[in-house]
Chains A and B, each alone.
Chain A
Amino acid sequence: MIDLTTAPKQPSAMRKAVAIFAGVSMLSIASTSANAAGTLAGTDIVNVAQASYDGPSGPITVDSNPVTIKVDELLDVTTASSNTGDVVTSPAATTQVLSYQVTNTGNGQEAFTLTADTAKGGDDFDTTFEQIVLDTNDNGVYDPGVDTVYSAGTNDPVLNPDQSVTVFVLSTIPAGAADAERAEVGLTAVAVTGSGAPGTTFASAGDGGGDAVVGSTGASSEDSGFFIIQAAQITLVKSAAILDPFSGNQPVPGATITYQLVATTTGTGTLNNLVVSDDIPSDTTYTPASITLEGVGLTDSDADADAGSFDGTQISVALGAIPGGQTRTITFQVTID
Chain B
Amino acid sequence: MKVKILKYIATFAALAVPGIAIAANNVALSSDVFVERKVEKPDGKTAVLLEQPKTVLPGDNLVFVVKYKNVGSAPATDFSVTNPLPKAVAFNGTSDGAEIVSVDGGKSWGSLSALTYTRKNGEIRPALLSDVTHVKWKFNRSLSVGSEGKLVFRGTVK
Contact = CB atoms under 8 A, between A and B. Distances in A.
Contact of B158 (A6, A38, A56): A38
A71 B58 contact: yes
A53 B76 contact: yes
A17 B142 CA distance: 26
Contacts of A65: 19, 21, 30-31
Interface string A10-32: 01011001000110011011011
A240 interface: no
A239 interface: no
A62 B20 CA distance: 9
A6 B143 CA distance: 16
Contacts of B41: none
A175 interface: no
A74 B57 contact: yes
Nearest to B3: A58
Contact of B31 (A29, A37, A47, A52): A47
Interface in B28-80: 28-33, 35, 53-59, 62, 64, 66, 68, 72, 74, 76-80
B29 A50 contact: yes
Interface string A42-68: 010111111111111011111111110
Contacts of A5: 109
B125 interface: no
A210 interface: yes
Contact of B8 (A17, A47, A48): A17
A56 B70 CA distance: 13
A46 B86 contact: yes
Contacts of A17: 8-9, 12
A13 B105 CA distance: 21
Most buried by B among A17, A38, A39: A39
Given A39-B158, A107-B58, A51 B79 contact: yes
Given A22-B107, A51-B27, A51-B81, A71 B56 contact: yes
B74 A55 contact: yes
A53 B80 contact: yes
A61 B138 contact: no
Contact of A48 (B19, B88, B104): B19
A59 to B, nearest CB: 7
A241 to B, nearest CB: 81
A96 B88 CA distance: 46
Contacts of A69: 33, 35, 53-56, 62
B30 to A, nearest CB: 5
Contacts of B158: 34, 38-39
A1 interface: yes
A70 interface: yes
Interface of A: 1-3, 5-6, 11, 13-14, 17, 21-22, 25-26, 28-29, 31-32, 34, 37-39, 43, 45-56, 58-67, 69-72, 74, 107, 210-211, 213
| Top 8 A-B pairs, shortest CB-CB distance | A38-B58, A25-B105, A53-B76, A64-B31, A39-B88, A34-B158, A66-B19, A48-B18
Given A22-B107, A53-B143, A60-B11, 11 more contacts: A28-B105, A37-B58, A45-B88, A47-B31, A52-B80, A55-B26, A59-B78, A65-B30, A67-B31, A74-B58, A107-B58
